[in-house]
Structure 1
Amino acid sequence: MNGGPSGFGNAPVTKSFLVLSGILSVLSGIQGRAHHLGLSYKDIFEKQKLWKSTLSIFSFSSTPELIFGIYLLYYFRVFERQIGSNKYSVFILFSILISFLGQVLVLGLLKDASLKLNSGPYGLIFSSFVPFYLDIPISTRIRVFSLQFSDKSFIYLAGLQLLLSSWRRSVIPGICGLLAGSLYRLNVLYIRKAKVPGCISLFFTRLRWPSIRSISLPASTRNIAGNMPYFSSPTAQPNYPPPGVLSTSGSLEASVAMLVSMGFDHDSARQALLHARNDVNQATNILLEAQAHQ
């Protein structure tokens, strides 16, 4: 089990979010402001420091939280590859907004002036655990002494470490994130059909960030999305590339392998690539549209 091919191929929004979160977290630490971050009753209801609340959504306040948070954000790029950048951008906005409102509601109910919630993108991270639990199957199991683990265990352990890092200060944002992910899963207000304009995702695709080393993850070849239907039609025929013309997306088999690693069925991925003239992005959209109409 992994997040697909290493790096940020077909996951430009995740890359931008991860880099932004990392930069803001490091700058906050260098400037000595990290311990001032976090949502609190006093800042929101008395001082109304909205700029501080916004910064707290993206910046982690400690190095361990930054390490585990960045790792989980990197792994969960698999969901952007599955549903596409346009829908994943909506998922990010929805998760952050619902989680933020949930935290504000809890602070308003508790009215504890001494409570300051942990800063960082807890909403996005823990909302991602909902599709991680429901959609990604276990491919391998291992037994250590009398304990049984799966290839998903390390992701759960990293999330548990982040959730319990500061007890109540971190548990509340984590629970609000799980709530946001559950509401998205339930398709509240048909949110799962919403997409941001294509120009926005194109902006992230063309955005150039400093080079980031790939984070190595446990390898697996298990299909994480199940079989996709064939794109057969009495009138539709595969649109093969002209003979002798090489696609800019690389060889057909390499493209098929990339889509399979993202969770698509081998035969469906190959057929979609033939229709898309070996354009991986277009083939991904074809597969996702077919999945949405199942």
Structure 2
Amino acid sequence: MASSGWFDFYQAPASKAIFFAVGLGSIANVYTLPAPWTGYDVTAFSGVQLHRVLAGQFVFGGIGELVLGLGLIYQFRMFERRMGTARFLSFTTMSTLLSITFQMAVLIMNPGFDDRELNQVAIGPYSYIFALFVHYFVYVPKLQKYRLLGAEFSEKSFMYLWGSQLLLAQGNQSAIAACCGMIGGLLCLSDKLPFNKFSWPDPLVRFSKDYLAPLFASRSPAEIAAARARREEETYARMGMDPATIAQQQQQHRGTNAQGYQMDQLLPGPGFLGGAGGGGFGGGFGGPAPPQPQANVAPPSEEDVARLTEMGFDRDSAVEALRRCNNNVARATESLLM
């Protein structure tokens, strides 16, 4: 699968819409909107000022939180791809509503109403982000483990560190919002509670699919790769160069080294979260694409296929991912989470 760059929302239109809504709304809130419009304290509930409650779910109060939050929203787009947009929106909507309910209870029952630190909840999509952190904790496997100073870490540790910075960005105010979001996410994952059965009405789903989703649709990695190839061919043609010759030279340059390893396999993969084209911490920020299958690669073993199907992936997708990643289970898992 070709890399489509760091800004890849393929099959994640809702995440893309939320990403832009949070970004633009937060900038407007920081620089233009009056504070009472987005203030998120106990008066927003006691006065039934729903515009403040709703606006508080989509705008951050500062640029620092905005940068941290947008990065997490982008990373968690993989859950929309995995769950499907309708199911993803049902989960995030119900978990956010539960989180708001818990926030309201905390504010109303808190005796420290005269203390600004205690009677406010930080504004921003904390409910959305930290409910998805529950999904991340439960469903994203640890692919690599290592020890540092006697403690065990994995590639997921960076994401937890990233989330903790957002959780503590506004002290108690952001911690309350984040913890309520995690509780809402946990309740929505439980099979013994009715919350995970919530779904949007069918007419609204059809309307969103027909009219809203196309507005935020993104091209597939294959379409982006084809467009890039066409641009390269046009560039070579303008320069008087033969595209076939250039392609042959590039293929030779990617040849195996003396030990027979493909050079692109020695570089960082698609990232800790499987973000398309993401090398480095967190994934999704412009690294190399997953390795392309070699002609002489052996068929995937049943044991490797079973390891992937046990994670919830269907057999055909598991076999194709292993074939594409040269039977590397870790890389195949990452590609399936993309």
- For the criterion TM > 0.5, the same-fold answer is yes
Q: Is residue 2:54 matched to residue 1:54? A: yes
Instruction: Show CA shifts across 1:162-190 (max 9, x none).
Output: 11122211111111101110111004226
Deviates more, 1:5-14 or 1:168-177: 5-14
Instruction: Decide which moves more: 202-211 or 17-26.
Output: 202-211
CA gap of 1:31–1:189, structure 2 versus 1, over 3 A, is: same
Paired with 1:88 and 1:22, the residues of 2 have a C-alpha distance of 20
Contact 1:129 1:178 in 2 (8 A): yes
Is residue 157 of structure 2 the alignment partner of residue 153 of structure 1? Answer: yes
Instruction: Provide the rounded CA distance (Å) in 1 between the counterparts of 2:37 and 2:195.
Output: 37
Which shifted more, 188-197 or 14-23? Answer: 188-197
Deviation of the 1:53 alpha carbon? 1.7
Which residue of structure 1 lines up, in the alignment, with residue 29 of structure 2?
28
**SS at structure 1 position matched to 2:169:** coil
Larger Rg: 2
The whole-number CA distance in structure 2 between the counterparts of 1:123 and 1:58 is 10
Confirm or deny: 8 A CA contact 2:19 2:70 kept in the other structure. Answer: yes
Against the structure 1 CA distance between its residues 224 and 122, is the aligned structure 2 distance closer, same or farther, given a 3 Å change threshold? farther
CA shift in 2, pair 1:159/1:99, >3 Å? same
Letter in 2 for 1:57: Q
* In 2, Cα distance between equivalents of 1:170 and 1:137: 27
- Cα distance, 1:146 vs structure 2: 4.0
- Looking at structure 2, the residues matched to 80 and 125 of structure 1 have their Cα atoms a distance apart, in angstroms, of 13
Q: Is the 8 A contact 2:147 2:153 kept in 1?
A: yes
User: Distance in 2 between the 1:93 and 1:159 partners?
Assistant: 20
- The residue identity in structure 2 corresponding to 1:72 is L
Paired position in structure 1 for 2:138: 134
Letter in 1 for 2:336: M
**1:98-138 CA-partner distances (Å, limit 9, x unpaired):** 11111111111115243211000111111111111111101
Question: Once the two structures are superposed, what CA deviation does each residue of 1:267-289 show, in whole Å capped at 9, x if it has no partner?
Answer: xxxxxxxxxxxxxxxxxxxxxxx
Q: Which consecutive unaligned segments of at least 5 residues does structure 1 have? A: 232-252, 265-294
Answering whether residue 279 of structure 2 is matched by residue 194 of structure 1, we say no
Check conservation: 1:80, 1:88, Cα contact below 8 A. Answer: yes
2:211 paired residue number: 203
Matched-pair contact (CA < 8 Å) for 1:34–1:62: no
**Separation (CA, whole Å) in 1 of partners of 2:91 and 2:97:** 10
Q: Output aligned runs, 1:11-22, within 5 Å.
A: 11-22=12-23
User: Secondary structure of 1:148's match?
Assistant: strand
Q: What percentage of aligned pairs have identical amino acids?
A: 25
- TM-score by structure 1 length? 0.69
Unaligned runs of 5+ in 2: 220-275, 291-306, 317-323, 326-330
Contact residue 95 and residue 177 of structure 1 kept, 8 A: yes
Task: Output the amino acid matched with 1:122.
Answer: Y
The secondary structure found in structure 1 opposite 2:20 is: helix
Aligned to 2:132, what secondary structure does the other structure show? Answer: helix
In the alignment, what sits opposite 2:79? Answer: 79
Q: Which residue of 2 aligns with 1:286?
A: none
* 1:28–1:229 CA distance, 2 compared to 1 (3 A): closer
Identify the match of residue 181 of structure 1 among 165, 185, 189. 185
Distance in 1 (CA, whole Å) between partners of 2:334 and 2:210 is 24
Whether the 8 Å CA contact 1:38–1:119 is kept in 2: the answer is: yes
> Alpha-carbon deviation of 1:92?
1.8
Residues 208-241 of structure 1: per-residue CA shift (max 9 Å, x gap): 4999xx994438979697264547xxxxxxxxxx
Matched with 1:226 is 311
Cα distance in structure 2, aligned partners of 1:82 and 1:192? 17
CA contact (8 A) 1:137 1:224 kept: no
Quote the Cα distance in structure 1 between the aligned partners of 2:161 and 2:89.
26
Please state whether the residue corresponding to 1:42 is helix, strand or coil.
helix
| 1:206-285 paired onto structure 2 within 5 Å | 206-208=214-216, 216=278, 217-218=282-283, 226=311, 228-230=313-315, 261-263=335-337
Question: What CA deviation, in whole Å up to 9, does each residue of 1:4-47 have, x standing for no partner?
Answer: 985000100000011101110001111164697442113321x4
How do residues 63-74 of structure 1 correspond to structure 2 at under 5 angstroms? 63-74=63-74
Q: How many residues align?
A: 236
Q: Equivalent residue for 2:172?
A: 168
Check whether the contact 2:9–2:218 (CA below 8 A) recurs between aligned residues.
Answer: no
What's the offset of the Cα at 1:93?
1.0
1:41 matched to which residue of 2? 42
Counterpart contact for 1:99–1:179, Cα < 8 Å: yes
Give the secondary-structure state (helix, strand or coil) at the position aligned to 1:207: helix
Task: Label 1:98 to 1:201 Cα distance change in 2 as closer, same or farther (>3 A).
Answer: farther
